[in-house]
Amino acid sequence: MNLYVYTDGSCKGNPGKGGYAYTIYDEFGELLVKASGTERETTNNKMELSAAIEALRCVVKNYTSVLTPNTIIIYSDSSYLVNCFNENWIQKWESNGWKTYKKEDVLNKEFWEVLYELVKKTGAVFEKLPRKDERIKEVDREARLASINLR
């Protein structure tokens, strides 16, 4: 079974009130899961990462029996998220003790560590989609609503 995951994060102010959202579809286009969450004081990048983390946690909890490499595709409009995996930044960071090539600490390390373990466990791969994609627009709306509705 293939799973198609759409993620997005939003932040009202940076830092500020944040929201994330994800949807998971099966290979037939059937919506399996739609979820969102909030954080009171966060950044847009943290919310982008949170969306992917929470989506993969959902996959691990509910679909472990169908997991094989490259059967989970995470779609995002975040270059920060997608490029980290597709350009192998994350492997380099981990092998360098979570330092960048400039020997600086990796920002949001605690999020990246969790996400990287989930990616290793699930075999998920990442693809960048433009913001005009309908499913990306849908999770963007949900993420923004989550951040706006945070009290």
Half-sphere exposure of 127 (CA within 13 A, CB side): 13
- Domain spans, the chain: 3-149
133 exposure class (CB count in 10 Å sphere: 0-12, 13-18, 19+): middle
> How far apart (Å, rounded) are the C-alpha atoms in residues 23 and 78?
16
Secondary structure of residue 73 in the 3-state scheme:
strand
More confident residue, 13 or 92: 92
pLDDT of residue 151: 65
pLDDT of residue 44: 95
Closest to 45 measured CA to CA, from 111, 142, 136? 111
Cis preceding-peptide flag for 130 (omega within 30 of 0)? no
pLDDT of residue 65: 76
DSSP 70: T
Dihedral, 115, 89, 46, 125 alpha carbons, nearest 10? -50
pLDDT of residue 63: 87
Residue 13 has pLDDT above 90, yes or no: no
Give the model confidence (pLDDT) of 70-101 as tens digits.
689 999 999 999 999 999 999 999 999 999 98
Question: In the CATH hierarchy, which fold is given to the domain comprising 3-149?
Answer: Nucleotidyltransferase; domain 5 (3.30.420)
Give the largest Cα separation in the chain, rounded. 45
pLDDT of residue 138: 97
pLDDT of residue 75: 98
Give the model confidence (pLDDT) of 94-145 as tens digits.
999 999 989 999 999 999 999 999 999 999 999 999 999 999 999 999 999 9
- Please tell me the least confidently modeled range out of 2-16, 37-51, 67-81, 97-111: 67-81
More confident residue, 150 or 94: 94
pLDDT of residue 54: 98
Residue with tokens 């102010």: 13
Residue 64 has pLDDT above 90, yes or no: no
